[in-house]
Structure 1
């Protein structure tokens, strides 16, 4: 985890305006993703094994074979997208995991283990008891996922959001995620978020604009003072340079790039470069780049990043600067 350093205050090219909406990516922004997913997977597999026997196949193995045999059952093809990979987002992991567990249970009823090499959805509806079993198993997964989040939050998340809530009572706070975790299901966070929207809810995930547009619609329904046109009164915080930062900036949403959970020596997989301490986006770095990679970081920072935080508890100071000292309508 990156060490906490003083936040870099932005020097915006526009006048600060009151912020009415603050949204967050969730995975590796609000919490560390890997340990929470691992805990959920272990708990779910243990539940299945305890009910079906340790000889049952791993859930992930059945998920993999189901997706391989019928991928379009688990993602929505977007006709107007020609970018490799993006047309497959989001993968409907909730359905995929539930289908895999249903298949495991149905196979146990017939004593015929599912094949991991040529699995395909059954042409006939699965037994009702298998569907019910899958529902119970998935609840174990999602309950464990959200419980484990409490132990893997970013630095002082609860204290920071509580502070913002108290200082800016009219501010809307929401989550925008390509995953299936929700702060509304996390005990310590549930009262700090007004809404959460996922890629599975919308059918398209970040970086597509659809999910941001839907978040805007929700915000307008919650507060009549939210403008009908998206603009710099909205700030989005995220760890992915493309899906969070570039996508938001394309809608004229202001951006805060967070690197608290960056791994692999600061490598940002979204842009394929290493974000070192000297190159982390800050307040419009103007020093001459020494390498092509340096130039790319500085160019991205200049065009898309309004502020950078290396630790979540730096957010209030940056927020104060971006919001011009107030978030009231």
Structure 2
């Protein structure tokens, strides 16, 4: 499964995050913002780690468009743990200002994750090792010969 073979460090980190409580005693919300149509809540072994997911397909734009991030803020803001902190009539700017200071966005792409979330006032963690580890495990596809065996033998 994905948690056992591909994302062991990620799962371990999320498990630790799940044990953290905010200063107010509320649990920490964990969400996923994906740049396609994937949803980790649909993956066996990962679903219990996420409170919400926003993906680019449902929003209609991909990262780094700020709409992806503001949609995630709205999704998190609708969570019952935050009902007493956020008013339903808050403007989008007020919601961003309020959530941004409490939000930590972890991403592996500097331009698509870190820059746009910083622009919304979020704290960020650039997880470069996610990309480095993935590249190290991907084997390059064999190159297709430029000539066939028949052509080579003719020469």
TM-score for both structures, normalised by structure 1: 0.33
**Residue in 1 aligned with 2:51?**
194
Q: Does 1:258 align with 2:127?
A: yes
Contact 2:96 2:120 in 1 (8 A): no
How many residues align structurally? 118
Whole-Å Cα distance in 1 between the matches of residues 85 and 41 of structure 2? 22
Higher helix share: 2
Q: 2:83 aligns with which of 224, 229, 244?
A: 224
Q: Secondary structure at the match of 1:217?
A: helix
Higher relative contact order at CA 8 Å, sep ≥6: structure 1 or structure 2? 1
Q: Which runs of 4+ in 1 moved over 4 A?
A: 147-150
Does the C-alpha gap of structure 1 residues 160 and 261 become closer, same or farther in structure 2, counting only changes over 3 Å? closer
Q: Secondary structure at the match of 2:126?
A: strand
CA RMSD of the aligned region, Å? 2.2
Task: List runs of 5+ in structure 2 lacking aligned partners.
Answer: 87-94, 136-155
Whole-Å Cα distance in 2 between the matches of residues 257 and 170 of structure 1? 23
Does the C-alpha gap of structure 1 residues 252 and 186 become closer, same or farther in structure 2, counting only changes over 3 Å? same
Task: List runs of 5+ in structure 1 lacking aligned partners.
Answer: 1-146, 267-329
Contact 1:235 1:256 in 2 (8 A): yes
| 1:139-178 pair list within 5 angstroms | 147-148=1-2, 150-155=4-9, 157-168=10-21, 169-178=26-35
Q: 1:240 aligns with which of 105, 109, 132?
A: 109
Contact 2:3 2:46 in 1 (8 A): no
Contact 1:174 1:196 in 2 (8 A): yes
